[in-house]
Structure 1
Amino acid sequence: MPLARRLTLVDAVAIGLGSMIGAGVFAVWSPALGVAGSGILIALAIAALVAFCNATSSAQLAAVHPVAGGTYAYARAEIGPWSGFIAGWCFVIGKIASCAAMAMTFAAYAAPESWRTPVAVLAVAALATVNCFGVTRTALLTRILVVLSLLGLAAVAASGLAAAPQASPAPLPDATAYGVLQGAGLLFFAFAGYARIATMGEEVIDPVRTIPRAIVLALGGAVVVYVLVAVAVMLTLGADAVGSAHPLADVAEAAGWSWAGPVVRIAAATASLGALLALITGIGRTTLAMAREADLPRFLAVVDERWQVPQRAEVAVALIVIGIVLVADLRGAIGFSSFGVLLYYLIANAAALRQGADVRRYPKALQVIGAIGCLVLVSTLPALASLIGTGVVLAGIGYRMLRLRLVVR
C-alpha cells in the first residue's frame, strides 16, 4: 500500500528545520568547540558548504525519484542494489544514533541529572506513539515545536550579542587544521535534517517541486540560526562552553538575563523533541523502503491501513533508540551519527554524479566537492566512533551477503 501524499512545502520545511535546529544548536557546540577551538566559525563554514553540496545532490535525486527511502532508493536506481543497501544501512544506523542524542539532549535540559535517562526513554516512547497515528499529526507538532524553539534561540542570540561588549569570555584554544576539520565533522551532524525531507518523497504533495525548494529553504534557515548562536556563545562564554551540558542557558545567565534561563531550557527541550520526532519519522520511512526490498526483514514493510504509516518500523526504531540511550553518552552518539551520515551522503553525491544532463539541476562540481568533503570529514572523526561505525557497517554487509546466499540456495 502506498503512503498518502499530505505534506505541503511548509510542512516539509518545518520537518527539516525541526531536525537541524534541535540537533545543532542544543547538542553539538560543546564537543565541537572542544576540538575546533577558535576556529569554530571556520569549521561551521566547512560543515555548511559540505551540507549544501549534499543538499543539492539530494534535491536533484529526489526530483527524479520521489519515493520513500532517500538515498537508499536513489542509489539503487542510479548505481545498483549494493550501493543502495550501504547508503540505507548507514542512514539507519547514523540517524538512530541521532535519535539517541536528541533524547539525551532533551533530558539534559528538561530533567534533573538523576532523572535524565528515564526521561529520555519516555520521550522516545511518546514521540514514536505520535508517529504511529499519522504523518499529518507529526508535521503539525513539528511546526509548533520549531516556532517555540526559534523564539528561545532569539532570546539566546539577543542576550549574548547585547552582553558581548562587556563580557570577558575565557579564551578558546588555538585552532589546528585537524581540529577544525574534526569540528566540522561533528557540526555536520547538525545539518543533516534536510535528509528527513528527501526520505518523505512518497508523502509530499508535488514532490518534484516541493522537495528541492524545501531542502534549500530549511538549510538556509538553519545556517542563519547557527551563525548567530555560535557568535553569541563565543563572545559570552568562550572556552567555558566546552564541557557544559547546557551552554545556551549559560549564555543567558552570563549576560545577566536570569529570566531567560528557563525560557532557553524550554526552547532546548522543545527543539530536541522536534528533532527527535522528525528523525524517527525519516528512519521509519527508510526502514520501510529497505524492508520492501528485503534488505531488512519484510515484517517491517507493513503499512497500517487506517493511519497509513509504517507502524512496525516505527516501533522497531524506537526500541533500538531506547537501548542506545541506556548504554551510550552524548558525545559518542554524535560521533557515531556523523560517521554513518557522512558515508550516506558520499553515496548520494556519487549517485547524483551519474545522472544525465536531462535531469541535472546543479553543476557536477558541487557533487564532486560534496563527495570529497564527506571523505575528508569522516576521516577526521574520533577514532572510537569510526571504529564502531566501521564494525556496524561491515555487520550490515555481512547480513545482506548471507541473505542473498540463502535466497540463491
Structure 2
Amino acid sequence: MATPQLIRGTSLPGAILLGLGAIVGTGAYVSIAMATSITGSGVLIAILIAALVAACNGLSSAQLAAVHPVSGGTYEYGYKFLNHWFGFSAGWLFVAAKSASAATAALALSLYVLPALGLAHGWQVPLALLTIAIMTLLVLAGVRRSNQANAVIVTVAIGALLVFVFTTFSAYEPTLVAAPTNAGSAHDILAAAALIFVAYTGYGRIATMGEEITSPKRNIPLAIIATVLVTTALYLLLGWALQYTNLQQQGVNESELALVALASNDTVATVVLVGAAVALLGVMLNLILGVSRVILAMGRRGDLPAVFGGLNVGQTSAPAATWLTAVVMMALALSGSVELAWSFSAFTVLVYYGITNLAALQIPAQQRFVPRAISVLGLISCLALTLFIEWRVLAAGGLLILAGLVWHRWRLHLVANK
C-alpha cells in the first residue's frame, strides 16, 4: 500500500508567504540592529553576503526536498544521503539552533515590552520564561499558525518595520544621508554576516513542504529565491535607516537593540511594539512546533529516549517532545543575553546548513536541478562564517556537538548489546 501523501494545495504565492512568515521576526526586529552596532554602515554589505549564503543553502534544501519530500529536514536528509552520524548531528544541531532562536525571541520580546509595562530590566529573564511557558501550553492545546494567521502576522510585522524605516528617514536632514558611519573592518562585516544569516533561515520552512507545494521542483526554488529577495530588500532598508539613529553612538546598550528605543516618536514606538510582539510571538509558536517535531522524530528513531517519540491519546500533539523543547528553550533563555543566544544560534545553524549542503552534493546528476557549484559554495561559506563567531560561542558549540556524538555512540552501544 502506498504511503499517504499530503494534498498539494500550496501555490507559489502561498509558499512565499510562508517563507516570509518564518523569517520576519527575530531577524528583522533584533539581528539587523545587532549587526549594525558591530559594523556600522558595513551592515549593508553584511546583509548582501548573508543573502548570498542563504540563497545557496536554500537551493540545496530545495534540491533535497524535491528528491526526498519528507518532514524532518536535514535530520532526515543526513540519514538518507550521508550516514547516521551526520543525520543525528543535524537533528541535534537543529534542536539547539532553533531553541536558541526561540530564546532570543523571548528575550527580545521582553526588551520590547518591559518599558511599556514599567518593569525594570531585571524582569527580562522571568518574563521570557513565562512567555515560553505560555506559548508551549498553546501548542499543547492544539494552536497552530494557519495560512490566514500567517498572512496577518506577515502584514503587521512588515508594515511596522516600514513605518519605522520611513519615519526614521523623515526625522533627519537629507544631508545626513550622505554621511553614513564607518563600515568597520572586513572581520566585523563577516561577523555581522554570520549573525544576519540566521535571520534568513526561515526559508527552510518552504523546503520541508515538498509534499504540499504544487509543482515542487519549480515552485520551491522560486519561492525560496523570491523570499530571500524580498527579505533582503527589507533588511537593506532597515539597515540603511539604522545608520541615522543613536545606535551609532559609542557604548550601545543591549536594550537599544530594540527598535522601540530607536523610534523617532511615541506613535512610531507603539506601532513598532505591536509589530515586534506579533512577529516574535509568531516566531516562537512556529519554533516550538518545529523543534518539538524534530525531537519527536528523534525519539521514534531512537536517537533520543523513546518517551519523546510518543503522542497523546488523541494523536493531536506530542507532550513529552513539546515539554523537552520548552525546557531547552528556557535553559538557553537563562543566559539573559539576546546577543549570546543569537550568536549560539548562528554557530549551530551554520554547521547544520553545512551538513545540508554536504547531503545535497550526494544527489545523483540525473536527479539534480540545482548545480553542484551552488551546494559547494553554500558548504564553503557556512564553514567560513563559523570562524567569525565569538570564541566562547565556538567553544560552547563544539562541546555541544561532542556531547551529542558521545550520547549517540552510547545509544548505539546499548542497542547493539541488547
TM-score computed with the length of structure 2 as normaliser: 0.88
Alignment of 1:49-128 (within 5 A): 49-111=52-114, 112=119, 113-128=121-136
Q: 2:23 corresponds to which letter in structure 1?
A: M
2:266 alignment partner in structure 1? 258
Q: Which amino acid aligns with 2:27?
A: G
Structure 1 stretches of at least 4 aligned residues deviating more than 6 Å after TM superposition? 1-4
Of 192-201 and 120-129, deviating more is: 192-201
Counterpart residue number, 2:184: 175
- 1:19 positional shift: 3.0
User: Contact conserved, 2:99 with 2:328, CA < 8 A, in 1?
Assistant: yes
Give the residue type in structure 2 aligned to 1:243. Answer: N
Q: 2: CA distance between counterparts of 1:51 and 1:87? A: 17
Match of 2:171, SS state, is: helix
Is contact 2:299-2:308 (8 Å) kept? Answer: yes
| Pair 45,93 (structure 1): closer, same or farther in 2 beyond 3 Å | same
Q: 1:151 to 1:393 in 2, by over 3 A?
A: same
Distance 1:311 1:18 in 2: 25
Q: Deviations over 1:223-273 (max 9, x none)?
A: 1211111111113445139435245224432xxx43211111111111111
What letter is aligned with 2:367?
V
| Two-structure CA RMSD over aligned residues (Å) | 2.7
Does structure 1 retain, via aligned residues, the 8 Å contact 2:97–2:345? Answer: yes
Is structure 2 residue 226 aligned with structure 1 residue 217? yes
SS in 2 for 1:358: helix
CA contact (8 A) 2:24 2:279 kept: yes
2:392 to 380, 384, 395: 384
2:154 to 146, 149, 153: 146
- 1:15 and 1:119, CA in 2 relative to 1: closer, same or farther beyond 3 A? farther
Counterpart of 1:291 in structure 2 is 299
SS of 1:87 mapped into structure 2: helix
AA aligned opposite 1:190: A
- CA deviations 1:316-344 (Å, max 9, x no partner) are 10122122223341111011000100000
Q: Which runs of 5+ in 1 are unaligned?
A: none
Tell me, in whole angstroms, the C-alpha distance in 2 between the residues paired with 1:358 and 1:135: 41
In the aligned structure 2, how far is the partner of 1:301 from the partner of 1:4?
21
Q: Percent identity?
A: 36
The 1:106–1:14 alpha-carbon spacing in structure 2 relative to 1, beyond 3 Å, is: farther
CA separation in 1, counterparts of 2:377 and 2:113?
39
Alignment check: 8 A CA contact 1:17 1:146 kept? yes
The residue that corresponds to 1:350 in the other structure is: 358
Write out aligned runs for 1:17-28 (5 A): 17-28=20-31
| Counterpart Cα distance in 2 of 1:244 and 1:331 | 8
Deviates more, 1:80-89 or 1:26-35: 26-35
Tell me, in whole angstroms, the C-alpha distance in 2 between the residues paired with 1:261 and 1:361: 46
Contact 1:30 1:244 in 2 (8 A): no
2:253 is matched by which residue type in structure 1?
G
Show the counterpart of 2:253: 243
Aligned length: 405
Residues 200 and 208 (structure 1 numbering): CA distance in 2 closer, same or farther, change over 3 Å?
A: closer
Counterpart contact for 2:20–2:154, Cα < 8 Å: yes
CA contact (8 A) 1:48 1:223 kept: yes
Change (3 A) 1:307 1:155: farther
Assess if the C-alpha contact under 8 Å between 2:353 and 2:382 holds in 1: yes
Query: What corresponds to 1:188 in structure 2?
Result: 197
Are the structure 2 counterparts of residues 199 and 304 from structure 1 closer, same or farther at C-alpha, using a change threshold of 3 Å? farther
Contact 2:36–2:43, Cα closer than 8 Å, also in 1? yes
Give the counterpart letter for 1:107 in structure 2.
S
Deviations 1:27-46 (A, max 9, x none): 11343123323311111111
Q: Mark the CA change 1:24 to 1:171 in structure 2 (over 3 Å): closer, same or farther.
A: same
Distance of 1:66 and 1:151 partners within structure 2: 33
Report if the CA contact (8 A) 1:69-1:200 is conserved.
Answer: no
**Which moves more between the two structures, 7-16 or 109-118?**
7-16
Q: After TM superposition, give the deviation of residue 56 of structure 1 in Å.
A: 0.2
Partner of 2:287 in structure 1? 279
Q: Tell me the SS of whatever aligns to 1:154.
A: helix
